[in-house]
A and B are shown apart, each in its own frame.
Chain A
Amino acid sequence: MEHIVIIGNGISGVTAARHIRKLSDKKITIVSAETDHFFSRTALMYIYMGHMTYENTKPYEDWFWKKNKLELKRAYVQHIEHEKKELLFDNGDRLGYDKLILAVGSVPNKFGWPGQDLKGVQGLYSKQDLDLLERNAPNKDQCKRAVIVGGGLIGIELAEMLHTRGIPVTFLVREDSFWNGVLPNSDSALINKEIKDHHIDLRLSTNLKEIKSDKNGRVTSIVIEETEEEIECDLVGLTAGVRPNIDFLKDSGIELGRGIKVNRFLETNIEHIYAIGDCAEQHEAIGHRRPIEAVWYTGRMMGEVVAQTICGNRMKYNPGHWFNSAKFFTIEYQTYGWVNGEKSRPDYETHFHWKHPEKSIAITIAYHKQTNQFLGINTLGIRMKHIVFDQWLTEERDIDYVVHHLKTANFDPEFYATYEAQIQSSFQPVHA
C-alpha cells in the first residue's frame, strides 16, 4: 500500500489527508512537532482571551483520526533524504514514504533587530508561541507594558489579546496608517481610530531600533528608531509578518526561494515531494495573487487539490476570485475581488467609498476607470455574501449594477439596519 506522509498537521496538511482518505485507501501518516492533534491556528487568540479552551479549537474530536485511519506522529523532522525516500527525526528515528507532502507552515519574521532573541521577545504563530505568551504576559502586574512591532493582522490581534488582560500596549507600525499596504486610506483610517478607541498607544511611521535587556537577558525596554525614545516594557511582540518555515530543508535538495518552490501542480523539483499551504511558493504568481499566500483558505484549497493529484487525477492549483476576511477588535472586515491600497493600486483602478456618518461601518468598491467594471469590494461592519460577489466578478458586472444590487449580497443578521439606500444615494454614476 502506498504510504503518503504529510509533514504538518495544520489546515493544509489535514485537508490533504482527509481528501486523500476520501479518494483512496492509501496509508497516511501526519507528522507534527507542534501538537498531537489538529487545531485551528486562527483561534489561538481566543484561548488567551478566555473565549475558548484549547479543546474547543480542535475541529475534529480525538477519535476522528483513528476512525479514518489517519496515523499521527508527534516528532520533529530534522532532515529529508529524498534519495532513500526517508525522513530523519531529531530523536534518530526514521520513517519511509512513497509520497511526501510538505505542509510545514510559517515562522514569524525577524529582521535582524538588536535584541530580537531576548527573553520576553516573541512572535505569535504556533501553539508554543501561545504557551510562551502565557508565561511572558500572564497579567498586567507581571507585564506592565507590551510593545508590538509590525502592523499586520497578527499585530492587531496580539494588541486585542493583551488589551483583554488590561496590559497597556504600544503598537509600532512602520506605515503611516494601519495596514495601508493592503487597505485603502479611508478603510485604514477607520481602523486607526478603532485601535486608539481601545486605548492602544498606536505609533504610526515608527520603526524599532533595538531591544534592551537586563543582566538576565530579559527584555526591559525598546528604543524607537526615529525619535530615540525608550519605552519600558516586559514583552515585545514581533509581528512583522511570517515567512515559510523552511530552514530545515536547506540541504535537502528541494528547490527553495523564499518558500518551497512549486509548479502549478504543487510539485517540488523532487519527484514525489509536494508542498502546500503557507510554505509553498509558486514559480509565477497566479493572477494578482502573491506567490506565497499565508491564508487559511488557500492552505485548505491546496490540500484539496494536491489530494486529487496524489490520487491519480493530476490537477493544477487554480484558485478562483480572491477573497478574505478579518476582524479588527470589534470591526469585521470582508473583501471580495481586488481592492488595492494607495501604493499598489494600478492606474486603471478607482474607488467609490461610503462611510456611515457615526458608526464604524464602511464599504469601498473598486472599479475600472474606463470600463466601469467591478473589481472588488471591502466591507467594514457589514457582512456580505461570498457567492454573490464571486458570481458578479465572474460575470464582470459594472459598478452601477453592483451598487444597485447590493441588497442581494447582504449577509447581516435579521433585523439589522440596512444601508443600501444611503450607499446608493451617495453613489455618483461615473458615466453620467
Chain B
Amino acid sequence: MSNKLNHSMSLASPDGYGITTTQKIAVALGSVGLFIMILAGVNIDFPNRSLYLTISLLSIVGGVILFSNQAYLTKQEGIQNDGVWFKSISSRGILGWITGIILTAFYIVLYFYPHYLGLTPDGQANTGVISLFDPLSYLLSGNPASQWFVYGTLYTVAILAFGYKFMLKYRHNKYQLLRTGSVMFFQLGFAFLIPEFMARLNGDGFNLPYYDLKNIWPLNYYNFDQYRINDFINSGTLGMALLIFGVASIFIITPILTYKYGKRWYCSWVCGCGGLAETAGDSFRHLSSKKVAAWNIERWLIHTVLVFSVIMTTGLVYSYLSKDASKYWLDADYFLIAVGLFLTLIFAGTMLFKRHELAKDAKYGAIGYAITILALLVLYASDTTDHVFYIKSGTLRSAYGVYIGSLFSGVIGTGFYPILGNRVWCRFGCPMAAILGFQQRLFSRFRITTNGGQCISCGNCSTYCEMGIDVRAYAQKGENIVRSSCVGCGICSAVCPRGVLKLENDSMNGRINSKDVLLGNDVNLMELMNNK
C-alpha cells in the first residue's frame, strides 16, 4: 500500500506518479511478449516457433529497455528514488502483491509441476511453453528444451534487461556500472551459454554434467552428487579438471578473493542469485526488514541451513564412497575423518584468534560445530552404506533439494521479492553466503568506512540496504560496517546525501572501531569517551 496519506480524495491517481505514454507502450510491448508465452503454455501451436520465440523475447527485452530509457534518460544523472514508496509495485501495493503471487506460482509450477509447462516423459516431443523454447535449445546445445532451459533463458533475459535498466539508473556511478556489467557477463556466459556449449561436446568418450562454473558448493548443493562425480571422473582430463576446480573454488579460490575484496566479489559481482536480486530485484531492495528481530532470525536461519548442507553433503558423499568403494580412490572413513579434522581446525583457529571479536556469538558457533561433529560421529558409528542417520541416504539429499533448493531459494527467495525484498534467500538461506560472510566478518580486508562527523542519521543507507543491515546505526557512531551479511553492493554509499560511506579494502587492523563521540567535538572529550 502507498505509505502516504492522501488528502486529495482522488481515487484515480492521487500522486501524479503516473507513467508516460511511451512507458505505457513499453508495458504493452512487454505484455505481448509474455502473452505469447502464455499462449504457448495453453498449447496454442505456433506455426513457426523460432519466429514467435524471437518476437516474444525481443518484445520483453524491448519493453524493459523502452521503459527504462523513459524513466531515466529523461532525467539528470543521480539518485532516482523519487516515489519509490508511493508506487504500487515497489511499496507492497496491489501490483506488488500480484507480481509476488504470479512469481511464486511460477516457481511452484517450475519445481513441482513441470508438466504444466509442457515437459513430457523422455523421448516424447515437448509441448506447451517448453516446446516454444526448443528451437533455441537445439541451436545452443543440440538438445530439446527442458523446464530448466526455459527457466535459464528467462532468468538470463531478466538479468540482461533489468541490468540495462539498473545501469541507466546508476549511470553516474562507475562502481555500479562495472558490477552490473560483471553479473550480466557471468550470467550470460558462465551460467547460460558455456554449459549449453559444453553439452554439445558430450558424446565421444565423455559426458560432462551441466556445470555452471561460478556456481560453487554449497550454493550448488548438488555439485558433489554421485552422478556428477561419476561424470567428472569418467570424462578424462577435462572432467577431472572440472572436479578439481569445483573443490578448489570453495577451499582455495573463494577464501583468497574474500580475504582481498570481501564477499562482494561473489555475491554482487558474480553470483547468479545475486545477479537477479541486483537487477530484476533492485526495485524491491528497500522492502527488507531492518529490525534487530529480523537480524536474529537471519543469523539462526542461515547458519542452520549451512550446518544442514554440510551434514547433508558429507552424508551423501560418505554413503556412495562406502557403497561403491571400489569405484573411488577415496576411502569413506578417511573422508569422514578429513571433514571432521577440517572443521575442527577452522573451529579451533577461530576460537583461538578471533574469540574476542565473536563475543557471545562464539557460543552459537560452538553449538553449530558440535552438532556437525556429532552428526559425523553418528554417521561413522551407524556404519551403513545405504542409510545415513538411519534414513535412506537419498532422502536427506532430496529433502534438502525440496526444502532449501526449491522452496527456500526459489519460491520464497525470488517469488517474494515484492513482499520481503530482493535478497531473502541471500540473507536468510544461502549457505555459501554464510561461509563467505563468516570469513568476511573475521578475516577480510573489506569494510565500509564512515566519514568523521558528517552523518546526519537520515537513514537512506539503511532503507536501501537490501540485506537489511541498519547501516545508519554504524555510520552515526562513526563505526566501520563490518558485517557478515554485507554483499558490498555499494548502494548505501550511493544514496548517502552527505558522502559518509565508502567501500574499501584496507588492512585488517582497526577494522572494527566503535566511537561514542565523533570527529568534530572537543579532542579531550573524544579521547575520554572513545579510549575507555
Contacts and interface: CB of A to CB of B under 8 A. Distances in A.
B is a partner of A: yes
Contacts of B102: none
Given A42-B458, A138-B14, A386 B453 contact: yes
B178 A415 contact: yes
B14 A40 contact: no
Given A325-B499, A390-B519, A334 B85 contact: no
Given A42-B457, A325-B498, A329-B78, A319 B520 contact: yes
Interface size on A, as a range, is 35 or more
B401 to A, nearest CB: 37
Given A334-B499, A413-B174, A414-B503, A52 B460 contact: yes
A401 interface: no
B498 A320 contact: no
A235 to B, nearest CB: 14
Q: Looking at B82, B87, B454, B499, which has the most chain A CB atoms within 10 Å of its CB?
A: B499
Given A49-B83, A165-B16, A414-B175, A318 B522 contact: yes
Interface string A382-425: 01111100100000000000000000000111111100000000
A327 B497 contact: yes
A416 B76 CA distance: 18
A323 B452 CA distance: 10
Contacts of B14: 138-139
Taking each of B7, B10, B459, B463, which has the highest tally of chain A beta carbons within 10 Å of its own beta carbon?
Answer: B459
Contacts of A59: 457, 459, 472-473, 476
- Measured as residues with beta carbon below 8 angstroms from the partner, the interface class of chain B is 35 or more
Contacts of B247: none
A215 B502 CA distance: 55
B4 interface: yes
A384 to B, nearest CB: 8
A326 B496 CA distance: 11
Given A138-B7, A315-B522, A332-B499, A325 B454 contact: yes
Given A334-B499, A417-B174, A197 B76 contact: yes
A89 interface: no
Contacts of A412: 502
A263 interface: no
A166 interface: yes
B139 interface: no
A416 B503 CA distance: 12
B463 A51 contact: yes
A386 B525 contact: no
A334 B291 contact: no
Interface string A223-261: 000000000000000000000000000000000000000
A43 B519 contact: no
A334 B453 CA distance: 12
Given A134-B7, A332-B497, A411-B502, A387 B76 contact: no
A358 to B, nearest CB: 12
A142 interface: yes
Contacts of B522: 301, 305, 315-320
A214 interface: no
A184 to B, nearest CB: 20
A316 B523 CA distance: 12
A214 to B, nearest CB: 19
Q: Which residue, A56, A313, A417, has most C-beta atoms of chain B within 10 A? A: A56
Nearest to B502: A411
Given A134-B5, A142-B8, A304 B174 contact: no
Contact of A304 (B6, B457, B473, B529): B529
B85 A53 contact: yes
B521 A51 contact: no
A386 B454 contact: yes
A126 interface: no
A284 to B, nearest CB: 17
A53 B90 CA distance: 13
A22 B529 CA distance: 10
A296 interface: yes
A198 interface: yes
B523 A140 contact: no
A50 B174 contact: no
Interface in B483-532: 490, 493-495, 497-499, 502-504, 516-525, 528-529
A367 B324 CA distance: 80
Given A40-B456, A57-B458, A332-B498, A51 B84 contact: yes
Interface string B284-308: 0010000110000000000000000
B69 interface: no
A61 B473 CA distance: 11
A327 B503 CA distance: 21
B81 interface: yes
A330 interface: yes
B521 A323 contact: no
Interface string A138-169: 11111000000000000000000000111000
Interface string B250-270: 000000000000000000000
B519 A416 contact: no
Nearest to A383: B499
A368 interface: no
Contact of B463 (A52, A320, A417): A52
A411 B525 contact: no
Contact of B456 (A42, A164, A417): A42
Contacts of B473: 59
A305 B525 CA distance: 8
B451 interface: yes
B151 interface: no
Nearest to A388: B452
B86 interface: yes
Contacts of A325: 454, 456, 498-499
Contact of A413 (B79, B175, B452, B524): B175
B441 to A, nearest CB: 21
B15 interface: yes
Nearest to B532: A22
Contact of B174 (A198, A313, A385, A415): A415
Interface string A111-150: 0000000000000000000010011001111100000000
A300 interface: yes
A427 interface: no
B173 interface: yes
Interface in A338-386: 383-386
Interface of B: 3-8, 10, 14-17, 76-79, 81-87, 172-175, 178, 286, 291-292, 451-454, 456-460, 462-463, 472-473, 476, 490, 493-495, 497-499, 502-504, 516-525, 528-529
24 contacts: A40-B456, A42-B457, A42-B458, A43-B458, A49-B81, A50-B84, A50-B86, A52-B458, A53-B3, A54-B3, A134-B4, A165-B15, A166-B16, A296-B456, A297-B453, A301-B522, A315-B525, A320-B522, A320-B523, A325-B456, A330-B78, A413-B490, A414-B174, A415-B175
Given A42-B457, A386-B454, A414-B490, 6 more contacts: A51-B495, A134-B5, A139-B14, A297-B453, A300-B518, A330-B77
